[in-house]
Amino acid sequence: IYGEDKIKKVLELLDGTKTSLIVSFHDFKKTPSRDELVSILKQQIAAGAHVAKLAAMPQKEEDVLNVLSATLEVRRQFPCIPIITMSMGPTGAVTRLVGGLFGSDLTFAVGSQSSAPGQIPVAELRQCFNVIHPTHTEA
């Protein structure tokens, strides 16, 4: 899916450094099925990703639930591998708030300029995190 040979070559270049490899999948048009999302994350991990990441555009609310459900399944199978997942756009914005409850280790917020649809301004995200994650730590 990503070119395992290319990933292996990058990993060889990173060997002995303090740099981690994030293998990322983006679909700006749709959300693959839940099973496909799980498969994508597992393929990234199997290929040697230090961090597995995916972002997809929901067409319906169920797509958002599929991203969260896939995240939870992969988190439970691979508790020590960092995972970053999100559903994009206004419909998917909730994943940026609650993804951590399902196993996503990181989210993205707007500082001065958005880099993807559905990102929440950092000040608003912090307010929400104070309610949803009262013991969270900020980077």
Catalogue the active-site residues.
26, 53
Give the type of residue at 18: K
The total of other beta-carbon atoms located within 10 Å of residue 55's CB is 22
Token pair in block for residue 137: 């730590």
Place of tokens 């981690």: 20
> Phi/psi of residue 20, each to 5°?
-105, 150
User: How far is residue 20's CA from residue 28's CA, in Å, rounded to a whole number?
Assistant: 25
